Structure 1
Amino acid sequence: MTEFAHDTVVPYKDGEGSKKQQVAAMFNDIAFKYDFLNRFLSAGIDMRWRKKAIQQIAGLHPKNILDVATGTADVAIMASGILKPDKITGIDISDGMLEIGRQKVEKAGLKGIIELLNGDSETINFKDNSFDAVTVAFGVRNFQHLEKGLSEILRVLKPGGKLVVLEFSKPKTPGVKSFYDLYMKVITPNVGKLFSKNRNAYKYLDESIQKFPEGKNFTQILDNLGYLNTYCKPLSLGICSIYCGTK
């Protein structure tokens, strides 16, 4: 398996433990403010991005969906409303995020449809060919081994099933890029510190985005792993991108 630059980016440079352990600890720490900060820092655009990602699998009419790095279950809940599947399983390595997700699922009256489990993208605890579709929103940057996680997802997808990845990317337009760099390097970490008391989490966000293999580099990784019909759709002047591939 290839190691990518972002695989080695960790939230706590002087901390102990693997990237996976540090990421779980970081999300446990910010879970109580995660949804608020997402909406606040993106001015609510993140929900539109999620909706556009989910629409990439609408034509499949998936009955059984896996949401990897489900976090607080935003995508799982939205996908349930848009796609009306029989079952959505969300997995995440952060118990703190899952706890908030379960409260949201219960409040939405979706306990019979959405199940949230502690689970790791690199060892997905389901049989081959289990899911019609797999979604990952803002989670692939946090994989400890990118190719291993994407290979596991391919394994559990049914033939004809589709992966949809929603991930931050770097805008290329000069004026937009300058504002984006200022926002990510100065504003985001300081707002994160103000509301969640954890500046590291939002510094890590920028550092992992900077080193992530985006655009054609990411679709090439999917191609190399055996995904078919891969494509990339930039959103909001390239601040975010949707990546898709089929088994």
Structure 2
Amino acid sequence: MTPSTAASSRTTGVDLDAVPDAFDGVASTYDLMVALNPGYHAHLRASADVLVAALPRDLDRPVRVADLGCGSGASTAALEAALRDAGLDYELLGVDGSAGMLAQARRKPWRGAVRFLQGNAETLTPASLAPGAPSGAPVEGYDGVFAAYLFRNVDARDRLLAQVRDLLVPGGSLVVHEYSVEESRSGRVKWDVVCWGVVVPLGLLTAPRSSIYRYLWRSVVDFDGAERFRSRMVAAGLEQVRSRTFGGWQKDVLHTFHGRRPRAAGTA
């Protein structure tokens, strides 16, 4: 455990190893909480659109997309809607460490080839994601990986980025949807006000025995700045790395990061 994660544990009562269990405890009310955030689903869809726009259109098979840290399925739903609106055939896999959150995700109505897997994102390989795939075992990798609100819950971020790079086919894209306020004083102030004025009090109403929403505040405070996270992506072997923030109160708070695995030598 790093000093920052140790501080998070002392402040919130939740350490990184316990995050999946902590989400189990709020799974039944989590969708209610995010519904109270009027921009939550629209922002996920905007980042999902970035990933879908980067997917290949000339394959002789469905595009394969993995949603790491899918939670109760909100990000998976955003991806499925974006894929359908783009007219793409797809195989979509949601992965999360919380059995309770995955149970909520599986209850939702899915229109296409969508499946869910409980697993630790830090130990995934293409082969480990293969069992039960709609059209066989995609051991060669994924065309796109989406990760919403995942990386700040991971201590070994560089290792996870390298593993995600290996999940991607050459030319495949990673899109990360994440809060980051380290580089913005105004972003940090807005985050503090929203969390302690809205999120934590609502969390006490919907899940009074859980400290997960205090952990949410701290995990964002401890997370990388946007420039630092882009540098991690480059160091992990991704190229064309860029990011953008959202408007409104989420400016300099919520970001979309995008990078690609380099294509094999000699390919277009």
TM-score by length of 1: 0.86
State yes or no: 1:141 paired with 2:152: yes
Per the TM alignment, residue 59 of structure 1 is displaced from its structure 2 partner at its CA by: 2.7
State yes or no: 1:78 paired with 2:78: yes
What letter corresponds to residue 47 of structure 2 in structure 1?
A
Per the TM alignment, residue 57 of structure 1 is displaced from its structure 2 partner at its CA by: 2.0
Aligned position for 2:132 = none
Per the TM alignment, residue 144 of structure 1 is displaced from its structure 2 partner at its CA by: 3.4
- Return closer, same or farther for 1:160/1:9 CA change in 2, 3 Å cut-off: farther
CA contact (8 A) 1:67 1:89 kept: yes
Cα distance in 2 for residues equivalent to 1:219 and 1:58: 20
Cα distance in 1 for residues equivalent to 2:191 and 2:230: 23
State yes or no: 1:240 paired with 2:236: no
Match of 1:35 among 31, 35, 49: 31
- In structure 1, stretches of 5+ residues that fail to align are none
- Return closer, same or farther for 1:9/1:77 CA change in 2, 3 Å cut-off: farther
State yes or no: 1:201 paired with 2:215: no
CA deviation string 1:188-241 (max 9, x = no partner): 212101111245111111111011002111000111111101011011312200
Aligned position for 2:110 = 108
Identity of aligned residues (%): 20
Aligned residues between the structures: 236
Aligned position for 2:40 = 46
Aligned position for 1:19 = 16
What letter corresponds to residue 142 of structure 2 in structure 1?
F
CA deviation string 1:58-92 (max 9, x = no partner): 33335000100011111222212221342001110
Name which of structure 1's ranges 118-127 and 151-160 shifts more when overlaid on structure 2: 118-127
What letter corresponds to residue 55 of structure 1 in structure 2?
D
Match of 1:182 among 183, 193, 199: 193
Per the TM alignment, residue 177 of structure 1 is displaced from its structure 2 partner at its CA by: 5.0
CA contact (8 A) 1:134 1:163 kept: yes
CA contact (8 A) 2:65 2:142 kept: yes
Cα RMSD, aligned residues only: 2.4
Cα distance in 1 for residues equivalent to 2:5 and 2:223: 8
Cα distance in 1 for residues equivalent to 2:147 and 2:195: 22
TM-score by length of 2: 0.80
- 1:49 counterpart SS class: helix
Aligned position for 2:172 = 161
Greater Cα radius of gyration, structure 1 or 2: 2
Match of 1:57 among 51, 56, 68: 51
What letter corresponds to residue 227 of structure 2 in structure 1?
K
Cα distance in 2 for residues equivalent to 1:183 and 1:14: 17
